[in-house]
Amino acid sequence: MGEPSRLWHVCLTVSGEAMEPLIVRTALGRLRDQRQFLHSLKYDGSRAEIQYWEEAECLLDASSLALRVWNEYRDSAGLPRWEVVGLEVLERAVYQERGPGGMVVDPQDVTPLPF
In the chain, the domains with their CATH numbers are 6-100 (3.30.70)
**pLDDT band at 106, cuts 50/70/90?**
low
Give the dihedral of Cα atoms 26, 37, 71, 89; nearest 10 deg.
120
Helical H runs in 1-115? 21-34, 59-77, 92-98
- Residue 94: CB atoms within 10 A of its CB come to 11
User: Rounded CA gap, 96 and 76, in Å?
Assistant: 32
Q: Give per-residue pLDDT as tens, 43-75.
A: 999 999 999 999 999 999 999 999 999 999 999
**pLDDT band at 104, cuts 50/70/90?**
very low
Interval 74-97 mean pLDDT: 96
Give the model's pLDDT for residue 31.
96
